[in-house]
Structure 1
Amino acid sequence: MKQYIPALLFCFFLLPMITVGQDTVKVSLESFIERGIENSGQIEFEQRKVDLANNQINQAQSQRYLPRFELSTQHGIVPGVISQTNLPEDQYYLDPNLENDWENWAVFTRAEVSAVQPIFAWGALKNAVKAAKSAAVSAQKQFEKEKANVRLRLFELYQSYLLTNEILVLLDEAQNQIDKIERQIEEKQEDGDTEFDESELFKFKIFKSEFDIRAAEVREEAETTQRIWNYVLNADENTVYMPDSNFLDPVAGELREIDYYRSYALANRSEIDAIEAGIDAAEYGMKAQKQKNYPSLYIGLNGSYANTPNRPRQSNPFIINNSNYASGSFGFGIRQNLDFLSIKADIEKGRIQYRQAKYLKDAAVDGIVLGINQAYKETSLSKVKVDKTDEAHRTSKKWLRQEQLDYDFGMGDTKDLIDAMKKELELRVQLKREVFNFNNNIAELYRKSGLPILELSNEN
């Protein structure tokens, strides 16, 4: 025995270390949804769409001010020139026999600057900016829609954890009842009770095996839910996240008349706002395309400078030494796209997109109304199921209590006791599932109505 004492002492001191090393963190529904959104790759992906839309605004605005502003340079090594005449260097262009001096090399440098500034384009640039801004609003509203969808999925995941916790508690309580009945049956069998029926024992063992299978399934589901939670919350190995409540109760959201949800949805759904912004973007884009039929006025600036030490600049303004000169120009210009067939096709495309966006709004409104009708029906029905299942469960508890008393006094039947216990357990589990369905259904109704689901809570 002495050889086991060191090992036992080691385990005794190690146990507190393991217990302290693992943290259990209670998470509220609001915190769970907030952290889930922060860690969501889907949300990050949708956010990049918004960033791209805002970038399109910057690109459209950049076309209004110096859309073309360029600098280019050229560099190289060139030979000098030799003239056999007595001409000054700035008049070498008069020497028809001017030759390259291959023994005299120098660095050639040239820089050119050009800029174009639109002055009047019939509002095309302004409408292009408005179209980009409306498209950015549409992208932002689509982003809010995706966030609402993720919130709903996280809400359902939170409810799933509460459901599995409740069922695990029910299984533990049922296991205690099963063990108690099993002991009573074994006592009857050992005492040689004349009323003992061997078939009762077989039926009980079958029931117990079926119960063990279901219990194993529930525990596996609970482990899966815990793993999903850890993934969503980006938990480390030493942290376990759990809901801040152990009870799954109906959410404290009052079910109102269906007209309330319809009117709220039509006024607040981000999808409708996104489509309306898309309609504006299509309209502004169509106007910008129409204005391409007209000429645009702009001013231009061009400057060029070159320098090569061994190639002198020439004094005649009509003669330019490409390796040593300075020039500049500034003026007004008119630009007109003469490809009228392509412009006409682009305008027609804009009209089609505008009409398509308007029809999309009508279709979206129809879909929202139908979705609310369906969600309202499911929520109303699940509310009835919760109430009626709760009523049936209260009755089953009375039945089980009566059968247990009869069995304890030797007047009951094992089959009736098992049936009562089985029905009471089934109804308890069913009640929790109906509550789970009701909570998810009303959350779905809130989502389809544009209501924030965080207004729902499990506190009555």
Structure 2
Amino acid sequence: MKTKAASAVIYGILFLGATVGRAAGTDGEKQLLDLNDCVKNALAVAPELGESQADIDLAASKLVEAKAHRYPQLDFLGLIGPVPQARGNQVASPDSINQTSRLTWFTRGDATLVQPLYTFGKISESMKAASHGIEVDRAKKEQRRNEVALQVKEYYYGLLLARELKEVVLEVQEDLDKARKKAREYLDKGSPNVDDLDIYKLDAFSGEVAKYLEEAKKGETLALAALRSRIGLSPDAPFDIATARLAPDETTAAALPAYLAASQSQRPEYRQVKEGLLARQALVEAAKAAYWPDLFLGGYLSGAYAEKRDRVSNPWVPDEFNHLWGGVALGLKWKLDFGITGAKVAAEQAQYDRLMSTKTYAETNIPLQIRKAYLDLQEAEKSIAATKDAYSNAKKWVVAALANFDFGIGPAKEIFDGLENYAKMRSDYFHSIYNQKMSRANLEYAVGASPLEQR
């Protein structure tokens, strides 16, 4: 007959197996790290944060580019090539402009300098958009930091849960071994309180518990490997956590409104949306600025020389191949199009409107996420107290059943039932503690609290 004496343990192992299972890292001496140390190490090696920093650097380069448009821009064109000779002057010359039998070489350089004076917001709005874009990427990096910390906590508490579940299985196995030994003694003595069927049940139950023990060991190994990987240690690095037992938190949660209020200033997603809207608004204004001209100060210098061409001094007859001239002037550049600028403005406005919808979504769902984590925490705390009483009574049941069986006055069925309830309640107790730990971690993440504990 198949027993359900360790059914709760199965649930625990499967739960853990779905939660953890990765490994990688670097070699090192044996370390004992607490949760805060593990979070620090993970943040130091997390590739996600390297990607986020690259995004920040990219946004910073866009700001530098936008600022650079305030300064002069210099264009230079240099030429060298053949040209017909030109002797005499602008009134009479023995040479023809189309003559190819008498050629010489010319060199020429043209430099244009443009200093923007006023662009109706094209430059200033682009700078503003780039500045807010940097803040968006910084908030994204902070969000990823919080996600990495949350994952470390999941692995850390998962490892503690795996070890506690393994201890539950070992305890059940120890009680079963005692019961099997005593049952065989009674059977050998011909006691009417035990028959072969009881021995078969105990043996079958023991085999099932041995299976769960191996699964519990595997879960512990996977949990440790996952944590080792996340904090940047190699798979064979001698490492362990400093926490010995999965114990419930003694601190109580604050009132829900306090968490909701704190999230407004701490949650990175709120800052992302806020800075993103400012950046998008600046891009809209920059696109609208294209409707207006650019006012600039321009400078021009041109020089050319051809050895076998006489210099022309008449200002009415410029020579493109033998001259030196330049000048400074105020300029107005105005590009008019039919619908192109309007389409660009509409596109930027659509992006702004899209982000406004994201803002509405965040304002609705972040408080919901906080409320859920808060309620999960309250439920876990109540469940800890309930399951603690339940497994304590179940343990008394097991002790009494084993004692009665030892004295030959109790049936073996009481041992099965007692161990089944004890294993389930004890496992549920540790799951409740795990849920409390993770609910608190999820609540801190939802609020946007610092990923590291203050010491």
Normalising by the smaller structure, the TM-score range is 0.7 to 0.9
When normalised by structure 1's length, the TM-score is 0.83
The residue number in structure 1 matching 2:404 is 406
Q: Which of 35, 39, 44 in structure 2 is aligned with 1:33?
A: 39
Query: 1:422: Cα distance to partner?
Result: 3.1
Alpha carbons 2:69, 2:123 under 8 Å: kept: yes
Change (3 A) 1:75 1:401: farther
Matches of 1:344 and 1:22, distance apart in 2 = 61
Does residue 284 of structure 2 align to residue 286 of structure 1? yes
How many residues end up aligned between the 2 structures? 428
Give me the whole-angstrom Cα distance separating, in 1, the residues matched to 2:184 and 2:443: 52
Q: Tell me, yes or no, if the aligned pair for 1:92 and 1:314 is still in contact at 8 Å.
A: no
* From 69, 77, 89, the counterpart of 2:74: 69
Q: Aligned equivalents of 1:93 and 1:35: distance in 2?
A: 87
Corresponding residue for residue 94 of structure 2: 95
Partner residue in 2 for 1:335: 333
Cα offsets for 1:415-444 (capped at 9, x unmatched): 212322332222222211121122111211
- 1:44 aligns with 50
Secondary structure class of the residue paired with 2:30: strand
Q: How far did 1:97 drift?
A: 4.9
Cα gap change, 1:332/1:427 in structure 2, threshold over 3 Å: closer, same or farther? same
Aligned with residue 259 of structure 1, among 257, 260, 264: 257
CA distance in 2, matches of 1:340, 1:373: 52
C-alpha contact 2:247 2:433 (8 A) present in aligned 1: yes
**CA shift digits 1:142-188 (9 cap, x unpaired):** 22122212221221111111111222233333333332222222322
Q: 1:24 to 1:174 in 2, by over 3 A?
A: farther
1:128 is matched with: 126
- Residues 229, 241 of structure 1: 8 Å contact kept: no
Q: Give the 3-state SS of the residue equivalent to 1:395 in structure 2.
A: helix
The structural deviation recorded for 1:79 is: 8.0
Q: Please list every run of 5 or more consecutive structure 1 residues that lacks an aligned counterpart in the other structure.
A: 1-20
1:253–1:456 CA contact under 8 A, matched in 2? no
Q: Which among 54, 59, 65 is matched to residue 59 of structure 1?
A: 65
Distance in 1, matches of 2:91 and 2:212, equals 105
For 1:404 and 1:453, the matched residues in 2 are separated by: 48
Q: How far apart are 1:320 and its partner, in Å?
A: 5.2
Code of the aligned partner of 1:70: D
Kindly tell me: are residues 451 and 258 of structure 1, through their superposed partners in 2, closer, same or farther at Cα, counting changes over 3 Å? same
The answer to whether the 8 Å contact 1:23/1:238 transfers is: no
Contact persistence 1:443–1:456 (CA under 8 A): no
8 Å Cα contact 2:194-2:412 kept in structure 1 = no
Tell me what 1:448 maps to: 446
C-alpha displacement at 1:334, in angstroms?
0.6
Which aligned pairs between 1:85-234 and structure 2 lie closer than 5 A?
87=88, 94-97=93-96, 109-234=107-232
Pairing 1:423–2:428 present: no
TM-align CA RMSD: 2.9
Q: Counterparts of 1:218 and 1:157 in 2: how far apart (Å)? A: 15
Letter in 2 for 1:412: G
In structure 1, the partner of 2:20 is none
| Bigger RCO of structures 1 and 2 (CA < 8 A, at least 6 apart) | 2
Letter in 2 for 1:163: L
The one-letter amino acid paired with 2:414 is D
The one-letter amino acid paired with 1:125 is I
